[in-house]
Structure 1
Amino acid sequence: MFIKTIEPGEATGELAALYEAETKSMGHIMQATQCWSARPDIIIPVENLLHQIRDGFSLGLLNFRLITFVAAQHVPSSYCSHVYFRALSGMIGRDQTLAVRRDFRNAGLDNQQIEMLTYTEQIMRNASQITDADIQRLRNVGFTDLNIADIALAASFRSFMSRYFDAVGARVEPEFLDSDPVVRAEMAVGVK
């Protein structure tokens, strides 16, 4: 990491509780979490917002992770690409996750998911170019305005998170790296 953060042994209060909970659930504290401790006044609100978005996501965890994975590719973010490649592989399989990475339009997803990820791509490339017609296309495949807002929120939040991780030098933990060096290289972008 490029910046000084609060180490687990130095953490107190809410930060210590957050670190303890993550250690219990994951076996360690992710750099994606620890990097926020440079601003201890921000880490708890950021973590709470992440959980509110993800846990209350109107389209379910799978779609949240698909959006996050595609958004991470367009940031681009090695950290989030590796982490969400691992998470999605556990849900839809490694081969389909690789297919999503390479071309989600031809990855065996349903039409609604393809439209959702097309919108995600638009957000990541240039949200100012999105039109009423783009939103109507989402409605035409069955998305509600709540769903559309959730897609936009998940993609935009990933842009914020991933850019911060890279800006402060968070590095992906070894357990998130694929065993295949070709796949690892495909997930890696920017400074390696």
Structure 2
Amino acid sequence: MALHKDPSIATRALVPDVEDFPEDIRQKIDEVTEKSGFTPNVFRAVASRPDEWRAFMSMHDSLMDRDTPGLTKADRELIVVATSAENSCMYCVVAHGAIARIRTKNPLISDQLAIDWRKADLDDRQKVIIEVAVKLAMTPAEVTDGDQQRLRDAGLTDEDVMDVGSIVAFFAMSNRLAHWGGMQPNPEFFLMGRTPRQK
């Protein structure tokens, strides 16, 4: 697999050429590219290690593609934006901020969360989710049974509560991989979800 520098994707990580991807990875990337209109840089930045790419994407999809009344797909993206902002991860804030704008249908929410989640336009349930998620992200040793109970009291099931913790933990890893490789957000992410789509 030929690896090379591509500062538009990652400033420190070596990335492979698309034609060198294993077939299953190339097929998945083609699906996402066709749906999005571009290839998110994370796909290329992680693909130099195919086994880890598969595990990374499987974990991501398992956590982020669920939609329950207690923890919607939009809520999941809000967790990513708020905790990634606390970790100063530009890639994840920008990329998942775009998805959060689309899923919440709120063009302001991602910027609000990234600057100060306490002042963001969240409902009471979401405020509890984000507060507990940020606590786990920043001061994990201080998390108590009471924090999980607050989530249940806000309407989350035990599975939802587990998902909150798993999303925070997974994106803590993702944030650090993005920092380590100098991963850059695609320019397309910056504009997504800020204005209504033209029909």
Q: TM-score interval w.r.t. the shorter chain?
A: 0.7 to 0.9
Provide, for residues 28-77 of structure 1, a one-character-per-residue CA deviation record: whole Å limited to 9, x for no partner: 32211111112112111211111111112541111011111101101220
- Paired amino acid for 1:45: A
For the aligned residue pairs, the C-alpha RMSD in angstroms reads: 1.9
- Paired amino acid for 1:110: D
SS of aligned partner of 1:109: coil
The counterpart of 1:140, out of the listed 129, 138, 153, is 153
Superposed counterparts of 1:53-132, under 5 Å: 53-58=63-68, 59-90=71-102, 91-132=104-145
Structure 1 residues 38 and 119, CA gap change in structure 2 (3 angstroms): same
Q: Please tell me whether residue 155 in structure 1 is matched to residue 165 in structure 2.
A: no
Q: Work out the percentage of aligned pairs sharing the same amino acid.
A: 19
- Paired amino acid for 2:129: M
Structure 1 residues 96 and 169, CA gap change in structure 2 (3 angstroms): closer
In the TM superposition, residue 178 of structure 1 has moved relative to its aligned partner by 4.8
Aligned residues: 179
The counterpart of 2:53, out of the listed 20, 27, 43, is 43
Which residue of the partner structure matches residue 7 of structure 2? none
Structure 1 residues 14 and 104, CA gap change in structure 2 (3 angstroms): same
Structure 1 residues 126 and 57, CA gap change in structure 2 (3 angstroms): farther
Cα distance in 1 between the residues matched to 2:184 and 2:111: 21
Q: Does the aligned pair in 1 maintain the 2:125–2:154 contact within 8 Å? A: yes
Q: Can you give the 5+ residue segments of structure 2 that lack an aligned partner in the other structure? A: 1-9, 193-199
- Paired amino acid for 2:28: L
SS of aligned partner of 1:4: strand
In the TM superposition, residue 124 of structure 1 has moved relative to its aligned partner by 0.9
Which residue of the partner structure matches residue 34 of structure 1? 44
Structure 1 residues 128 and 57, CA gap change in structure 2 (3 angstroms): farther
SS of aligned partner of 1:32: helix
Q: Which has the higher strand share?
A: 2
TM-score normalized by structure 2?
Answer: 0.81
- Paired amino acid for 1:127: P
SS of aligned partner of 1:177: helix
Provide, for residues 166-189 of structure 1, a one-character-per-residue CA deviation record: whole Å limited to 9, x for no partner: 21121111112259xxxxxxxxxx
- Paired amino acid for 2:126: Q
SS of aligned partner of 1:50: helix
Q: Does the aligned pair in 2 maintain the 1:14–1:44 contact within 8 Å? A: no
SS of aligned partner of 1:5: strand
In the TM superposition, residue 144 of structure 1 has moved relative to its aligned partner by 2.1
SS of aligned partner of 1:38: coil
Cα distance in 2 between the residues matched to 1:136 and 1:162: 27
Q: Can you give the 5+ residue segments of structure 1 that lack an aligned partner in the other structure? A: 180-192
